[in-house]
Chains A and B, each alone.
Chain A
Amino acid sequence: MSDPNLFKVTSRLSEQVDRPGGMTAQIAIQRVTHEMSAEASRSREVVGESLTQLEQLCKEQTVGMDAVYDVATAVIDVAGLFDERVLCDAAYSLCELTDRLRTQEKVDWSAVAVHVEALKLIYGVDPRNTAQFRPVVDGLWKVTDKYKEPAEEAPAE
């Protein structure tokens, strides 16, 4: 085993944050909320486009699980920046499902379709009122866990 070389690095960022001036975290968050409100509407449209794309993939059933995985991650990529937890959890379950399926070289379009329907349902309501869909997301995880790999199961006593 080689000896690790350890050394101290002082980044410019560490010097910059402590300079006089700047703003409090509270003001920064207020400013971010203002800046992001201009992006919210377009972001929601983009998430909607991804869901339409997923629906289309389910209808055609011609692509592999990789393609579904890519679109599902696109949902989290955008919705995740707005802290849309329930929608992201549902999309995360779809990512996990398709990741497991492709690893096991399997295809299950009905499991994918259930996820897409649930995603559309959650997307259809105001993001502030999505907590009611938590049991739906729990159900999606049950579908995904059908493809749990043996190594992921708890070891037997």
Chain B
Amino acid sequence: MRVNLERTRLLLCDDNEQALSVESAMFRGFGMHRQYKASNAKEAMGIISSREVDLIVMDCGMPDMDGYDFVKWLRTEGPGDAAYIPAILMTGHAARSLVEKSRDCGANFVISKPFTPAVLLQRVFWVAKDERQFVRTAGYVGPDRRVRNLGPPPGKKGRRSTDLSLKVGAAKDPNMDQYEIDSLMKPQKVIL
């Protein structure tokens, strides 16, 4: 795996001063030297409103406004295209009361501590390569939470126009014979 993060503008936010310093060192190691650092969500909001940022990495547990609320704000009220900036949240302990917030905030990824730098780099790469569509509904804005699209739950009609019917219809035409199949696959020379 080869990555180029030299041009990436990173917003790091953590209320723990030492953790912020270590996280900054970690991302410098990945080649990300263009970093904005914030010690709370309010500062991060100011940076988002005045600077171009390509990736947000934020601690979940912060006083006043936590990481989940920040991402929710970003996705619903973030200025312009900033609403779609990839966001990775880091969590130490997943408090029971915050499980739903974590699921519904719209972050691209929530990563649990402890982790190794290799795992963090993998997650950054995964987020960069993430091809999920964005979803906007009354209650959720963020990447599609269905990482694998297996269709609607059994017995339920899908809400999306792209969801396929549960019923497989009867064949419209007779089956193709082997000659027809072979000729579809037969390599042909093309003169250009």
- Name A residues whose Cβ lies closer than 8 Å to a Cβ of B: 1-9, 11-14, 16-25, 28-29, 31-36, 38-39, 42-43, 46, 69, 72-74, 76-85, 88, 91-92, 95-96, 99-100, 103
Contacts and interface: CB of A to CB of B under 8 A. Distances in A.
Interface of B: 1-8, 14, 16, 18-19, 21-23, 25-26, 28-31, 54-55, 59, 61, 84-86, 92-93, 95-97, 113-118, 121, 125, 127-130, 133-138, 144, 159-160, 162
A17 B113 CA distance: 24
B25 A22 contact: no
B116 A34 contact: no
Question: Which 4 residue pairs are nearest across A and B when measured between Cβ atoms?
Answer: A80-B113, A22-B4, A32-B29, A76-B92
15 contacts: A4-B137, A4-B160, A13-B128, A17-B4, A22-B5, A25-B2, A25-B3, A29-B118, A35-B28, A36-B22, A77-B61, A78-B19, A80-B115, A81-B114, A91-B92
A149 B9 CA distance: 44
B93 A73 contact: yes
B54 A16 contact: yes
B93 A76 contact: yes
B85 A11 contact: yes
B93 A11 contact: no
Given A21-B6, A22-B2, A76-B114, A81 B19 contact: yes
A80 to B, nearest CB: 3
Contacts of A6: 133-136, 144, 160, 162
Contact of A35 (B16, B25, B130): B25
Contacts of A22: 2-6, 31
Contacts of B86: 11, 13
Given A16-B128, A25-B3, A84-B114, 9 more contacts: A4-B135, A19-B6, A22-B3, A28-B30, A36-B29, A39-B18, A42-B18, A43-B18, A83-B116
A96 B29 CA distance: 33
A24 B5 CA distance: 11
Centre residue among B30, B97, B160 by max chain A CB count within 10 A: B30
Contact of B29 (A2, A34, A46, A76): A34
A99 B96 CA distance: 8
A76 B116 CA distance: 13
B30 A2 contact: no
A85 B3 CA distance: 27
B54 A83 contact: no
A106 B5 CA distance: 48
B93 A19 contact: no
Contacts of A8: 133-134
B142 to A, nearest CB: 10
A4 B92 contact: no
A13 B8 contact: yes
Which among B6, B95, B97, B138 has the highest number of chain A CB atoms within 10 Å?
A: B95
